[in-house]
A and B are shown apart, each in its own frame.
Chain A
Amino acid sequence: MLFPSQIFLFIFLPFTIFFYYTFFRKNRRLQNVLLTVMSLLFYAWGEPVFVFVMLGVIGYNYLFALLIDKHSLNISKAKAILVLSLICNILIFFIFKYLTFTLENINGVFNSQIPVPGIALPIGISFFIFQAMSYVIDVYRKNGEVQKNVLNVALYISFFPQLIAGPIVRYQTIADQINSRKESFDYFSSGVCRFIFGLSKKVLISNNVALVADAAFESESPSVVLALLGAVAYTFQIYFDFSGYSDMAIGLGNMFGFKFLENFDYPYVSKSITEFWRRWHISLGTWFRDYVYFPLGGSRVDSKSRLIFNLFVVWMLTGFWHGANWTFILWGFTYFILLSFEKLTGLHKKMNWLGHIYTMFFVILGWVLFRAEDISHAGAYISSMFGINGNPVIDDVTRLYINEYFVFFIFAAIFSLPVSKVVREKLGDKKISSVLYPIITCGLLLLSISYIVKGSYNPFIYFNF
Chain B
Amino acid sequence: MNIISKRIVAIFMVVIILAGIPGLFSLSFVKGVGRQVLYGYRENSMPEGATTSQRIKRIFTKIEDMIEISFTGEYVNLNGLVQKSMGKKVISDVVNANTVVKLDNGYLTFVFDEYKDTAHYAKSVADLRSFVKNTGSDFLYIQAPYKNFAYGDKIPDGVNDFIKDTTKGMVSNIKSNGVETLDLSIRFTECEVNGESMFFRTDHHWTVQGAFNGFRMVADELKENYNFTFDEKFLSQDNYTVETRKGSFLGSQGRRVGKFYAGMDDLSLMYPKFETDFSFEIPNRSVSKQGTFKEVMFDFEKLEPKNFVVSNNYLVFIGGDYDLTVIKNNLNNNGKKIVLIKDSFSCAFAPFLSLITQELHLVDLRYFKNSELKNYIKSVSPDLTIVMYNCAALYDNDDFFDFN
Contacts and interface: CB of A to CB of B under 8 A. Distances in A.
Interface of A: 5-7, 9-11, 13-14, 45-50, 120, 185-186, 188-190, 192-193, 196, 211, 395-401, 403-404, 407, 424, 429, 433-434, 437-438, 441-442, 445-447, 449-451, 453-459, 461-465
Given A7-B64, A14-B18, A49-B53, A437 B309 contact: no
A465 B393 contact: yes
B56 A49 contact: yes
A202 B322 CA distance: 43
A46 B309 contact: no
A186 B56 contact: no
Contacts of A404: 88-90
Nearest to A8: B64
B2 A9 contact: no
B69 A398 contact: no
A462 B318 CA distance: 13
Contacts of A433: 1-2, 5
A120 B78 CA distance: 39
A465 B13 contact: no
Given A11-B24, A465-B397, A449 B3 contact: no
A50 B53 contact: yes
A465 B390 contact: yes
Interface centre among A7, A46, A433 (most CB of B within 10 A): A7
B285 to A, nearest CB: 14
A400 B76 contact: no
A462 B18 contact: no
B252 interface: yes
B229 interface: no
Contacts of A47: 53, 57
B158 A399 contact: yes
Contacts of A5: 64
B9 interface: yes
16 contacts: A189-B9, A211-B92, A396-B157, A399-B158, A401-B158, A442-B12, A445-B16, A446-B16, A454-B75, A456-B64, A459-B252, A459-B309, A462-B320, A463-B312, A463-B314, A465-B345
Contacts of B86: 407
Given A192-B10, A457-B256, A463-B312, A48 B60 contact: yes
Contacts of A461: 98, 252
A465 B343 contact: yes
B213 to A, nearest CB: 19
A150 to B, nearest CB: 25
B321 A462 contact: yes
A168 to B, nearest CB: 25
The 5 A-B pairs with the shortest beta carbon distances in the complex, nearest first, are A400-B158, A463-B344, A189-B10, A49-B53, A450-B79
Given A47-B53, A189-B3, A407-B86, 19 more contacts: A13-B17, A49-B53, A188-B10, A189-B7, A196-B13, A400-B90, A434-B2, A442-B13, A445-B13, A450-B79, A453-B79, A457-B94, A458-B65, A458-B94, A461-B98, A462-B312, A463-B205, A463-B312, A463-B343
Nearest to A457: B76
B76 A450 contact: yes
A10 B9 contact: no
A49 B344 CA distance: 43
Contact of B7 (A186, A211, A447, A458): A186
Interface centre among A9, A186, A454 (most CB of B within 10 A): A454
Interface in B55-95: 56-57, 60, 64-65, 67-69, 72, 75-76, 78-79, 82, 86-90, 92-95
Contacts of A438: 5-6, 8-9, 12
B38 interface: no
A436 B212 CA distance: 55
Q: Is the interface of A mostly helix, strand, loop or mixed?
A: helix
B158 A193 contact: no
Contacts of B158: 395-401
Interface of B: 1-10, 12-13, 16-18, 20-22, 24, 51-53, 56-57, 60, 64-65, 67-69, 72, 75-76, 78-79, 82, 86-90, 92-95, 98, 156-159, 204-205, 252, 255-256, 309, 312, 314-315, 320-321, 343-345, 347, 389-390, 392-393, 396-397, 400
A454 to B, nearest CB: 4
A233 to B, nearest CB: 14
B321 A446 contact: no
A60 to B, nearest CB: 22
B69 A10 contact: yes
Contact of B75 (A46, A190, A437, A450): A450
Contacts of A211: 92
B315 A462 contact: yes
A7 B156 CA distance: 36
B79 A48 contact: no
Contacts of B64: 5-7, 456
A464 B252 contact: yes
Contacts of A464: 252, 344, 396
A451 B320 CA distance: 31
Given A450-B76, A453-B72, A403 B87 contact: yes
A407 B84 CA distance: 12
Contact of B9 (A196, A447, A450, A459): A196
Contact of B67 (A7, A50, A450, A463): A7
A434 B2 CA distance: 6
Contacts of A437: 1-2, 5-6, 9
A327 to B, nearest CB: 26
B90 A434 contact: no
Given A49-B53, A400-B90, A190 B76 contact: no
Contact of A465 (B20, B309, B392): B392
Contacts of B51: 49, 120
